[in-house]
């Protein structure tokens, strides 16, 4: 019977947790999708790329929402059980408060592992994949963003200006500046031009113009009747090198291994995706803290929720007590995120911040355990 009671409580908590997690994630995803629409479409990508790019940001959103959904669902369900006298069933069947707390502590360890999997593997992988999709996708309707008498620099290293554009898409009096390598550039003038081809074969066909090129210190120019500018292999200004949150966790440890000369053999087997330098140390430590330490605040949030069972609804202002517990949990989540600013480049200096969720859990668990053991266990 005890197992059935525990299953019922766990089922209610998980159901409300998943409902909160999914609904909040969808709402945030919709808001972000609006922003992504501007970024992706202005970058000349098609709708399929936009959908893929948006959905691949979902793991990041879920990972951020997990602590809030957990706190809200567990405080709500436990308070509901107390108000409906359902916790009395636990006590009447011989389940004490310590057993209930230990049950949820074990469950919180599972949730911690799940969030670590999200933080360490799924989130960086999905973010890296979203950038790769943007980088490898062709510019499908770039021509629609060329406006008369306006400079367009959507394509990286390429500036295009057209004095006029007719209804058929024909550009007139075109100026194109293409930056190549350092101290090298190419300027092209053309009387007319038009985008032709589809998908990966899209080109800008130029007519009756002149090209002036500078390579190192040599300048050359030539006239042409027809010249094609391929757009298929050009990146846009949105495409840059991978950000630190998009690189694999093993790359971060690889950087630390290299910079601190730790000589950890197995890390040498993996390719380092970062340009390792001492100026990146602070960011690397912060990213590893987000991925490996912040998930350990989940048991802390569970323990804060468990404070609801040490009081019953007969006490004065029980509703205020519930709000207070939720507020303490909310502040804890905010602290876990803002504690990033205290991360330094020294491993020893970061130790106190790394140990904080463990210390916080001990401060909550053992005094509560002792109090219940002394005779307040039911």
Residue 378 covered by a domain: no
Residue 237 covered by a domain: no
At which of 199, 230, 261 does a domain end? Answer: 230
- Other beta carbons within 10 angstroms of residue 359's beta carbon come to 11
Using 50, 70 and 90 to split pLDDT, how confident is the model at 281?
confident
Q: Show Cβ contacts of residue 263 under 8 Å, excluding neighbours closer than 6 positions.
A: 257
pLDDT higher at 315 or 40:
315
pLDDT higher at 313 or 362:
362
The pTM score is 0.76
Same domain flag for 202 and 263:
no
Total tally of structural domains belonging to the chain: 2
Q: Note the pLDDT of residue 137.
A: 65
Q: Note the pLDDT of residue 66.
A: 94
Compute the distance between CA of residue 125 and CA of residue 137 in angstroms, rounded to an integer. Answer: 18
At which of 207, 230, 253 does a domain end? Answer: 230
pLDDT higher at 350 or 135:
350
Asked if 190 contacts 174 with a C-beta cutoff of 8 angstroms, the reply is yes
Residue 15 covered by a domain: yes
Q: Note the pLDDT of residue 38.
A: 64
Same domain flag for 261 and 369:
yes
Residue 235 covered by a domain: no
Same domain flag for 82 and 194:
no
Strands (E) across the chain are located at: 158-165, 171-179, 185-196, 203-215, 218-230
pLDDT at 172 over 70: yes
Same domain flag for 132 and 162:
no
Same domain flag for 128 and 161:
no
Asked if 332 contacts 297 with a C-beta cutoff of 8 angstroms, the reply is yes
Same domain flag for 314 and 362:
yes
Same domain flag for 84 and 172:
no
Q: Note the pLDDT of residue 236.
A: 59
- Other beta carbons within 10 angstroms of residue 318's beta carbon come to 16
Compute the distance between CA of residue 123 and CA of residue 320 in angstroms, rounded to an integer. Answer: 37
pLDDT higher at 264 or 160:
160
Side-by-side strand order, sheet with 171-179: 158-165, 171-179, 185-196, 203-215, 218-230
Same domain flag for 197 and 178:
yes
Same domain flag for 253 and 309:
yes
pLDDT at 8 over 60: yes
Residue 75 covered by a domain: yes
Q: Note the pLDDT of residue 31.
A: 87
Residue 271 covered by a domain: yes
Residue 70 covered by a domain: yes
Same domain flag for 15 and 117:
yes
Residue range(s) defining the domain that contains residue 162: 142-230
Give the DSSP H/E element, type plus range, for residue 168.
Answer: none
Residue closest to 294 by CA, chosen among 39, 120, 33: 120
Same domain flag for 284 and 364:
yes
Q: pLDDT digits over 262-274, tens only?
A: 777 777 777 677 7
Quote the mean pLDDT of the chain.
Answer: 83
Using 50, 70 and 90 to split pLDDT, how confident is the model at 96?
confident
Q: pLDDT digits over 219-232, tens only?
A: 888 888 888 887 76
Which of the residue ranges 141-150, 260-269, 292-301, 303-312 has the most confident prediction, judged by mean pLDDT? 292-301
At which of 208, 230, 252 does a domain end? Answer: 230
Structure letter (DSSP) for residue 197: S
Residue 222 covered by a domain: yes
Q: Note the pLDDT of residue 220.
A: 83
Q: Note the pLDDT of residue 150.
A: 83
Same domain flag for 255 and 171:
no
Helix (H, G, I), strand (E, B) or coil at 240: coil
pLDDT at 252 over 90: no
């Amino acid at each position: 019977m005890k197992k059935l009671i525990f299953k019922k409580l766990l089922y209610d908590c998980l159901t409300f947790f998943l409902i909160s997690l999914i609904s909040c994630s969808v709402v945030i995803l919709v808001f972000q999708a609006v922003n992504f629409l501007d970024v992706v479409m202005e970058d000349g990508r098609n709708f399929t790329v936009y959908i893929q790019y948006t959905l691949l940001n979902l793991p990041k959103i879920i990972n951020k929402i997990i602590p809030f959904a957990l706190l809200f669902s567990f405080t709500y369900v436990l308070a509901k059980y107390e108000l409906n006298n359902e916790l009395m069933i636990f006590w009447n069947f011989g389940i004490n408060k310590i057993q209930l707390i230990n049950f949820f502590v074990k469950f919180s360890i599972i949730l911690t592992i799940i969030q670590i999997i999200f933080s360490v593997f799924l989130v960086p992988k999905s973010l890296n994949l979203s950038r790769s999709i943007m980088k490898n996708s062709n510019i499908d309707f770039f021509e629609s963003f060329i406006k008369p008498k306006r400079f367009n620099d959507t394509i990286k290293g390429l500036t295009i200006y057209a004095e006029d554009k007719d209804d058929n898409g024909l550009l007139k009096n075109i100026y194109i500046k293409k930056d190549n390598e350092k101290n090298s550039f190419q300027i092209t003038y053309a009387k007319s031009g038009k985008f032709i081809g589809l998908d990966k074969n899209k080109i800008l066909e130029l007519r009756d113009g002149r090209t002036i090129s500078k390579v190192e210190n040599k300048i050359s120019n030539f006239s042409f009747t027809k010249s094609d500018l391929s757009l298929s292999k050009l990146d846009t200004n949105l495409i840059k090198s991978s950000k630190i949150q998009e690189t694999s966790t093993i790359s971060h440890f690889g950087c630390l291994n290299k910079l601190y000369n730790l000589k950890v053999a197995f890390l040498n087997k993996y390719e380092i995706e970062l340009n390792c330098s001492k100026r990146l140390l602070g960011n690397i430590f912060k990213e590893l803290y987000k991925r490996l330490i912040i998930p350990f605040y989940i048991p802390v949030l569970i323990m804060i929720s468990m404070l609801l069972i040490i009081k019953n609804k007969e006490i004065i202002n029980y509703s205020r007590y519930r709000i207070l517990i939720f507020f303490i949990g909310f502040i804890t989540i905010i602290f876990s995120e803002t504690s990033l600013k205290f991360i330094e480049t020294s491993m020893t200096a970061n130790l106190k911040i790394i140990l904080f969720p463990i210390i916080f859990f001990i401060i909550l668990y053992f005094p509560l355990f002792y109090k219940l053991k002394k005779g307040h266990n039911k």
